[in-house]
């Protein structure tokens, strides 16, 4: 239908909740298929989709399980559509199987994890304890996928838009790793332009029916010949190399002259930023590197900071220390790396982080500069 509305929200500048922005921006990115299963704390997202998607000719389907939901994303993606699912930590574990198959069969799709504390049923408060899972082990087999970490409601919109583009361009699943805090937060946001799914780039590999005009398309991750499987994996890792070379994204805050650089993403980065400002007020040259892509990890930015003369890195996370391993890998022993984290839904205060910065500064013999220096 030519006059069919292709966006649910009529305004482009709105005050919205993070979870709803994810939904709205996904629709504006051309996503018309949502498959999910109820779980806290991402319910607003599914509710928004349930309400709005049918109005713009889309499909909202509450699946029987997280496993079914991700396999529906696999099917819809295989059929050429932009499709997504959303969940929170325990539910995302169940999606691991389907995500591995998507990676193995080169099927694009977007998975949202509005993280909560774990392991097991854990809690329902904000957490970043799925960093390893998202960046290392989202399923069995040799694969990675782009993982994007929003820290504002605006980024919820921008990054899900980007996630769909990356997924299609590189034929890969892509993940938004958010947390309950950004998900539940309301902020003003400028929504991205609505795209008609019909105008998106064509997918000649999709299973849409041959219409007796071409050889049959097969979406598959089974390769029983060892050499064929190795070749397939190598080709995929060539794409990963391209992603690593071109898609690293980060925000640098006061890093130029920083002695101590905090590394934090998502909700933790908001608190870390306040702590960095407070440290600067006390004369400690602190800075913040905020990874926006968790995979690929912004190693080039870390190189730049190391070469710029930073004396130490401190990874601040809402977990027991996961991203810190990537910071250590990226710094390659050139500067010391420490970690500070709270877990279980406990958020550190800026004062608490400031205290850690001061402690670290004194350990390293970094003396606060006099004000104005």
Q: How far is the CB of 78 from another protein (least distance, A)?
A: 5
Q: Which of 13, 212, 225, 226 binds another protein (CB under 8 A)?
A: 212
Cβ closest to another protein, residue 60 vs residue 265: 60
Is residue 244 near another protein by the rule CB under 8 A?
A: no
Distances (CA, A) of 347 to 101, 264, 352: 35, 13, 10
CB 130 within 8 A of CB 115: yes
Stretch that binds another protein, among 5-13, 213-221, 279-287, 362-370 (CB under 8 A): 213-221
Q: Pick the piece of the chain touching another protein (CB under 8 A) from 217-225, 245-253, 267-275, 290-298.
A: 217-225
- The answer to whether residue 75 forms part of the interface with another protein (CB under 8 A) is yes
Q: Phi and psi of 48, rounded to 5°?
A: -65, -45
Number of other residues whose CB lies within 10 A of the CB of residue 40: 14
Q: Which of 344, 347, 346, 348 has its CA nearest to residue 117?
A: 344
Rule CB under 8 A: say whether 38 interacts with another protein: no
Q: How far from 66 is each of 120, 136, 274, CA to CA, in Å?
A: 15, 20, 37
Site membership for another protein, residue 229 (CB under 8 A):
no
5 binds another protein (CB under 8 A): no
Nearest-approach distance from CB 214 to another protein, in angstroms? 9
Contact call for residue 56 and another protein (CB under 8 A): no
Q: Does 68 bind another protein (CB under 8 A)?
A: yes
Per the CB < 8 A criterion, the answer to whether 160 and 86 are in contact is no
50 binds another protein (CB under 8 A): no
64 near another protein, rule: CB under 8 A: yes
- Least CB distance from residue 357 to another protein, whole Å? 47
CB 196 within 8 A of CB 82: no
If binding is defined by CB under 8 A, does position 213 make contact with another protein?
yes
33 binds another protein per the rule CB under 8 A: yes
Task: Please give the full DSSP string across 304-330, using - where no structure is assigned.
Answer: HHHHTT--EEEEEESSSSSHHHHHHHH
Residue 210 CB, shortest distance to another protein, in Å, is 5
The neighbouring-strand residues paired with 261 are 287, 313
- Contact between 219 and another protein per CB under 8 A: yes
Q: Using CB under 8 A, count the residues that bind another protein.
A: 39
Report the nearest approach of another protein to the CB of residue 139 (Å).
10
Give the Cα separation of 208 and 219 in Å (integer). 11
Can residue 83 be called a binding residue for another protein (CB under 8 A)?
Answer: yes
Q: Is 162 in the site for another protein (CB under 8 A)?
A: no
Q: How far is it, in rounded angstroms, from Cα 10 to Cα 44? A: 19
Of 101 and 340, which has the nearer Cβ to another protein? Answer: 101
- Give the Å distances, CA to CA, from 244 to 11, 240, 260, 372: 35, 6, 26, 40
Under rule CB under 8 A, residue 71 binds another protein: yes
Answer yes or no whether residue 199 interacts with another protein by CB under 8 A: no
Q: Give 334's contacts (C-beta < 8 A, 6+ positions apart).
A: 306
Longest dimension (CA), the chain: 77
Three-state DSSP at 185 gives coil
* Shortest Cβ 30–another protein spacing (Å): 13
Give the shortest CB-215-to-another protein separation in angstroms: 8
Q: Which of residues 90-119 bind another protein (CB under 8 A)?
A: 97-98, 101, 105
Half-sphere exposure of 210 (CA within 13 A, CB side): 7
> Closer CB to another protein, residue 67 or residue 369?
67
- Tokens (6 digits) for 296: 């690929």
Q: Which residues bind another protein (CB under 8 A)?
A: 33, 35, 59, 61, 63-65, 67-69, 71-76, 78-81, 83, 97-98, 101, 105, 207-213, 216-222
């Amino acid at each position: 239908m030519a006059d069919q509305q292709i966006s649910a929200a009529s305004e482009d500048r709105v005050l919205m909740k993070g979870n709803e922005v994810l939904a709205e921006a996904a629709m504006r990115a051309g996503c018309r298929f949502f498959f999910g299963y109820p779980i806290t704390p991402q319910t607003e997202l599914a509710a928004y989709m349930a309400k709005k998607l049918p109005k713009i000719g889309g499909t909202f389907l509450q699946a029987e399980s997280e496993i079914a939901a991700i396999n529906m994303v696999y099917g819809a993606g295989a059929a050429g559509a932009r499709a997504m699912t959303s969940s929170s930590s325990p539910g995302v574990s169940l999606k691991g199987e389907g995500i591995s198959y998507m990676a193995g069969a080169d099927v694009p799709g977007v998975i949202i994890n509005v993280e909560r504390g774990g392991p097991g049923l854990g809690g329902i408060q904000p957490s970043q304890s799925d960093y390893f899972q998202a960046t290392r082990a989202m399923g069995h087999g040799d694969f990675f996928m782009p993982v994007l970490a929003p820290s504002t409601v605006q980024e919820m919109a921008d990054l899900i838009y980007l996630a769909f583009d990356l997924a299609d361009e590189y034929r890969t699943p892509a993940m938004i790793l958010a947390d309950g805090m950004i998900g539940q937060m309301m902020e003003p946001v400028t929504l991205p332009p609505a795209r008609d799914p019909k105008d998106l780039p064509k997918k000649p590999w999709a299973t849409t029916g041959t219409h007796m005009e071409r050889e049959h398309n097969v979406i598959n991750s089974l390769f029983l010949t060892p050499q064929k499987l190795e070749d397939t994996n190598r080709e995929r890792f060539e794409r990963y190399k391209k992603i690593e070379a071109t898609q690293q994204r980060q925000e640098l805050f006061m890093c130029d002259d920083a002695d101590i650089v905090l590394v934090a993403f998502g909700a933790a980065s908001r608190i870390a930023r306040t702590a960095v400002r407070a440290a600067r007020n006390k004369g400690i040259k602190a800075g913040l590197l905020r990874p926006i892509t968790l995979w690929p990890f912004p190693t080039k930015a870390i190189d730049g900071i190391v070469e710029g003369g930073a004396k130490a890195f401190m990874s601040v996370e809402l977990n027991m220390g996961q991203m810190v391993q990537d910071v250590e890998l990226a710094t390659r022993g050139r500067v010391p790396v420490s970690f500070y984290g709270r877990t279980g839904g406990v958020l550190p205060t800026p004062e608490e982080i400031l205290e850690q910065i001061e402690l670290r500064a004194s350990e390293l013999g970094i003396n606060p500069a006099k004000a104005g220096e």
